[in-house]
Every structure is written in C-alpha cells, then in structure tokens.
C-alpha cells in the first residue's frame, strides 16, 4: 500500500499559510500541497473545513486542522529538532503565546487597516500605521535584548509573527526600511533570506482533482 501524506490546502501569499508551512518545514513533515485560489476554493477543502480559510491540514486519520497555529503546534509536537516550542522553559512558553495572541488580534487588525486604508477614509493611512507601530516598537525592544523574540535562537513566536511583519513592511517598503526599527529590519531580513523561506515560497499552480500530486518540501 502506498504511504499517505497529510494534505495541506494553502495559499502562497497568505501569512497564516506561510507560518504553517514554516513549521511543517522545520518539523520535517512532508505534505501533499494543494494550492488554493481564494476566489475559487475547491469543494474538497470546503467539505473538510466549511469556514473556508487557509491553511487547512488533513492528516491521514482524517482529522482536520484548520487554524494555522494549531497546524504549527501539531507539526512541532511530532518533531521539533530546533526546539522552536522552547518546551523546557515555562516562561518562554507563556511569552510565546502572549506575543502570538497580540499579533493575531490587535496587530492583525491594525495591519489590515493600514493595508486597506482606502476602505477606512475617516483617518489617513499614517494613523493606521502608527497603531501598528505599537507592536513594532514592542518587538524592537525585545530584539534589542536578544537576537530573536524570545531568546538567542528562533522560536515558534518568530515563525508565527514574521509573515505578518513582512506584510506590514510591504505596504510601504521605503518607509519600513528607513524606519527606526533597525533590529526588526535585521530580524525580518534574517527570515526572508533564509533557505526555509525560499522553500516555503515555492510556487505551485492551482490545485484541482485532476492535477498531478505535488509535495512540500519537494525533496
């Protein structure tokens, strides 16, 4: 019988999907990739997860995991050779979860206001940017104390947050790369230039039931 792999519905440019792929990559778990076009979601994905967001992971026992953070924890709980979960340190574990919560709630809201400011004309774009900067400042302060957000090596917090900082930076790259957040700029570039990210950003064509099966990572 042929080996069955977990199936990952993903969308290349989605920051939630990026962080799920980063964790899968670090855990060394190979998945079948199904690249989704958000305006044309496959029926198979919606049947597994009717809420219709990516990423969605279906593991071989048919369990559906449709929250990016849960996919990260699932993968790293199987295998975490880089100790991204910082399991042995309870303070780190709780800092990781607090930082990710803040990213996924207030910062994500501010990021969307900044990115889609034209839908919120009651304030100028710079107003929404300064709301997001509260989180940038917090990260910058942490990065003055240690090389990564929690400690001297990357943790789950770094992997879960950097795709969102990338998105914030890309709204106005010139502003970001000339800003006072010099530690954050170095930190972001570290992830963007890494081989993991290149692998994570591999382009796949839209999946449909007739396409050839493709895997991530490729090798």
Ligand X SMILES: N[C@@H](CCC(=O)N[C@@H](CS)C(=O)NCC(=O)O)C(=O)O
Judged by the rule CB under 6 A, the positions of this chain that interact with ligand X are 11, 14, 16, 38, 52-55, 67-69
Q: Phi and psi (nearest 5°) for 38? A: -60, -30
CA distances for 63 relative to 6, 25, 56, 71, 197, angstroms: 10, 20, 10, 11, 27
Residue 147 CB, nearest approach to ligand X (Å)? 26
Give the residue at shortest CB distance from ligand X: 14
Q: Which is nearer to ligand X, 96 or 185 (CB)?
A: 96
Shortest distance, position 22 Cβ to ligand X, whole Å = 13
Shortest Cβ 132–ligand X spacing (Å): 17
Closer residue to ligand X, CB minimum distance, 53 or 125? 53
* Helix (H), strand (E) counts: the chain: 10, 5
Q: How far is the CB of 18 from ligand X (least distance, A)?
A: 9
Residue closer to ligand X, measured from CB, 52 or 60: 52
Helix residue ranges, H only, 64-181: 68-78, 90-102, 108-115, 125-145, 156-171, 173-177
Which residue's CB is nearer to ligand X, number 3 or number 39? Answer: 39
């Amino acid at each position: 019988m042929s080996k069955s792999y977990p199936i990952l519905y993903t969308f290349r440019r989605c920051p939630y999907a990026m962080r799920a792929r980063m964790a899968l990559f670090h855990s060394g778990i190979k998945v079948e990739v199904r690249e989704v076009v958000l305006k044309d979601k496959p029926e198979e994905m919606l049947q597994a997860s009717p809420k219709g967001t990516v990423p969605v992971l279906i593991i071989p026992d048919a369990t559906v995991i449709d929250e990016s953070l849960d996919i990260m924890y699932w993968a790293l709980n199987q295998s975490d050779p880089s100790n991204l979960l910082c399991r042995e340190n309870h303070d780190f574990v709780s800092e990781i979860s607090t930082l990710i919560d803040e990213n996924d709630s207030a910062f994500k809201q501010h990021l969307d206001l900044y990115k889609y400011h034209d839908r919120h004309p009651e304030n100028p774009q710079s107003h929404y940017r300064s709301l997001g900067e509260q989180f940038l400042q917090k990260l910058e302060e942490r990065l003055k104390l240690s090389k990564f957000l929690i400690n001297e090596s990357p943790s789950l917090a770094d992997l879960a947050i950097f795709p969102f900082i990338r998105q914030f930076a890309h709204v106005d790259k010139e502003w970001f790369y000339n800003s006072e957040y010099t530690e954050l700029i170095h930190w972001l570039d570290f992830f963007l230039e890494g081989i993991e990210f290149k692998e994570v950003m591999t382009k796949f064509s839209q999946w449909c039931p007739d396409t050839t099966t493709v895997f991530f990572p490729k090798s």
